[in-house]
Structure 1
C-alpha cells in the first residue's frame, strides 16, 4: 500500500527544527541513521511538484517510474504532495521528513525543489537526492536528472506545421521560467524551419512567483480558446495540469492538441479528448526515476548531471494516436528532423 505524505504545520515546524539541529551538528544520530547508498536501500520517496499526482503529465510520469521500481525491484514507495502556496521552508520540511523516515533516494519532482534539496542534502549526506529539471545545485549525493526538452519540442513544431491547415499554431507555457522557454524555443524553431510562413501564437499563463499556470486547467482552457479564436488549429501546451484545459478546448473545437511530458493520449483522465491529441512531447521522467532508484539499490548511486536527450530517446514524440500513424508525410518529416538533430545538422535553440 502506498503512503501519501501530507505534512501538517506542526510537522513542518518539527522537521525544520530537526534539520536546523542536524545542520549545526547537534543531532549526528539523525544523519548517521540515514540509509547508506547501498544495496540495502528498500524505501524510496517522491516529493511531487505543483499539481501533484493526477496531473496526467509530469508528476504522473515520475510516479510511473517509482511504480515500476516497486514492481521490478521490490522497493517500497512513499509519496509527498505539495501544498497550495508553499514556501521553500515547507519543501525543506517535506524532504527532511522523507529522509528521516529512511527513504533513499528522495526525489524532488521539479526545479522548484532546488533550494530545499541544497539544504537537506547537506544534512543527510548518506542519502541520495534526485532533482528533476535543475542543475543549479550540486553535491556528491545529488543526481540532477535533466532533459533536452527543446529537442522534443522541435519535433512537435515540425508535426504542428505539417498538420496545420490554417498556418497558425499555438504555444501555451504554464509559467514563464527558463525551463518552459526551452519548450517554446524548440517548438517555434521546428514550426518555422518547416513552414517559414507559419504563425506561432505564444502565451504564458502566469509569471513567477505565481505558479498557478502549472496547476489550474481553467487557465489553460481560456488561453487555448483565445488562440483558437485567432485561427490556431494546433495547440501545444507545456503547462502541467493546466495543460489539460488547453487539450479540452482544442478537442471541443475539433482541432489538434499536442501533449507534454507523458504520452497524454494514453492518460485515463484525458480519454474523452484523446482522439484530438495528435501527439505528445515525451520526457523519460519515469525512466530517470527508475534508473536512479535502481542505481541506489545496486550500491552505485547516480550523481551529478544525468542528461536525457533525443539521441538516447530521453525525449521524443509519441505516436499512439492511430490518426497520427496514418500521417506518413508528417512522420517522415519528424523522422528526418530527428536524424538531423542527432547527427548535429540541426542545433535546437534553448531560448526564444
Structure 2
C-alpha cells in the first residue's frame, strides 16, 4: 500500500495560508480544500487504465489548484480493497475507485459512510445509493471500433484479444472487439483469452504467443501491468498492439493505433463536479455520446478512407444501427 502525499507546493501554500490567517487575514481566504481520496488498484505507470486514471488526477489537480487536497492509494489486491477504501473514506469527502473491480467494495464501504461521496470509474448499473455515482466508460462500444481498426490493419487476417478478470464488462468488450473485426472482414480469425489477472505478465505473454502461433498479427487488450507480457510477445514476433485509454501516437512503433477510453476524463469529471457542488449519485453513461475525450479511436497515420469508415461505424453505434453489448 502506497499513500500519495501532498506535494511540497501544497505544504507551502498551507503554511502561507496559516501565517496570513494568524496575521488577521479573513477566514474565507483560508477555506479548506475538498479532500479527495482515490484508489488506483494497479500501477499508475502501467501504460493502461490505471495510468490514464492517474493522468486524470494530475489534470484535475492542475485544474483545481488549492481547491483540492488528494490522498492516493495504489497497487492494492482485490482482497484488500475494502480496507483501503475504508481508510480513504475516513479522511476524505470524495472517494474515487478507478476500475470496475472496485465496485463491490465501494458499495460496502459507502453504506458505512453516508456523508462521503463515492465515484466509480468504470462502474456498471447496480444498486442505487444516495452517495454513489457509477461512470460507465462503455468499453464494449469502443472495443467494436477497435476491432474494425484491427481488421483494417491486419496483414494476416487474424487478430486477438487478451482480457484480465473474466467479469461482464471485460468479456463484453472482448466479444465486441471480435464483432468489430468481423464487421470489416467476415472471414477474419479471432482469438480471445482471459488471464484472470490484470497484472500477470507471464500469463498475458503466454496468451498472446498462443494467438500469434495461430496467425494473429494485431492484438487488443484490457490489462494493466499484464500489458508488459503482450508487449514482450509482440516485440519478439514482430506483431502489433492497439493501445488503450490514451492517444500516444508516435511514441512507440509497436502501437499503430489507440482506443480512447476516458478513464482520466472521468476522474477529472468526478472531482470537477464535487468541487463545483454539482456532483450527483447514480449511473452515468459516458462512451461515444460524450465526445472524443470520453471515447474515440485513433489510427496513427490512417488513410482518409480508414478515417471515414471508422467515423461511420462510430455514428452507427450511436444511432443504434450497430448494436453492441453493455460494458
Q: Equivalent residue for 2:37?
A: 45
Q: Equivalent residue for 2:225?
A: 241
Q: Equivalent residue for 1:10?
A: none
- RMSD of aligned C-alpha atoms? 2.2
- Helix, strand or coil for the counterpart of 1:139? coil
Contact kept? 2:137, 2:287, Cα under 8 Å: yes
Q: Equivalent residue for 2:144?
A: 154
C-alpha spacing 1:128/1:40, structure 2 compared with 1 (3 Å)? farther
Q: Equivalent residue for 2:100?
A: 111
Q: Equivalent residue for 1:11?
A: none
- Helix, strand or coil for the counterpart of 2:177? helix
Give the paired residue count: 296
TM superposition shift of 1:286: 0.9
Q: More deviation in 57-66 or 92-101?
A: 92-101
Q: Distance in 2 between matches of 1:350 and 1:326?
A: 28
Q: Distance in 2 between matches of 1:300 and 1:245?
A: 41
Q: Equivalent residue for 2:56?
A: 65
TM-score (norm 2): 0.84
Q: Equivalent residue for 1:32?
A: none
- Helix, strand or coil for the counterpart of 1:318? strand
TM superposition shift of 1:195: 0.6
Is residue 338 from structure 1 mapped to residue 322 from structure 2 by the alignment? no
* Match 2:76 to one of 80, 83, 87: 83
Q: Distance in 1 between matches of 2:151 and 2:216?
A: 11
C-alpha spacing 1:179/1:326, structure 2 compared with 1 (3 Å)? closer
**1:194-227 deviations in Å (ceiling 9; x for gaps):** 1111110111112xxxxxx201222212211111
Contact kept? 1:281, 1:317, Cα under 8 Å: yes
Q: Distance in 2 between matches of 1:242 and 1:336?
A: 32
Q: Equivalent residue for 2:247?
A: 263
Is residue 227 from structure 1 mapped to residue 211 from structure 2 by the alignment? yes
Stretches of structure 1 that go unaligned for 5 or more consecutive residues are 6-38, 207-212
- Helix, strand or coil for the counterpart of 2:115? coil
TM-score (norm 1): 0.78
TM superposition shift of 1:326: 4.0
Q: Equivalent residue for 1:317?
A: 297
- Helix, strand or coil for the counterpart of 1:275? coil
C-alpha spacing 1:224/1:327, structure 2 compared with 1 (3 Å)? farther
Q: Distance in 2 between matches of 1:223 and 1:119?
A: 34
- Helix, strand or coil for the counterpart of 2:163? strand
Contact kept? 1:163, 1:330, Cα under 8 Å: no
Is residue 292 from structure 1 mapped to residue 281 from structure 2 by the alignment? no
* Match 1:126 to one of 102, 107, 115: 115
Q: Equivalent residue for 1:4?
A: 4
C-alpha spacing 1:122/1:139, structure 2 compared with 1 (3 Å)? same
Stretches of structure 2 that go unaligned for 5 or more consecutive residues are 6-30
TM superposition shift of 1:265: 4.7
- Helix, strand or coil for the counterpart of 2:256? strand
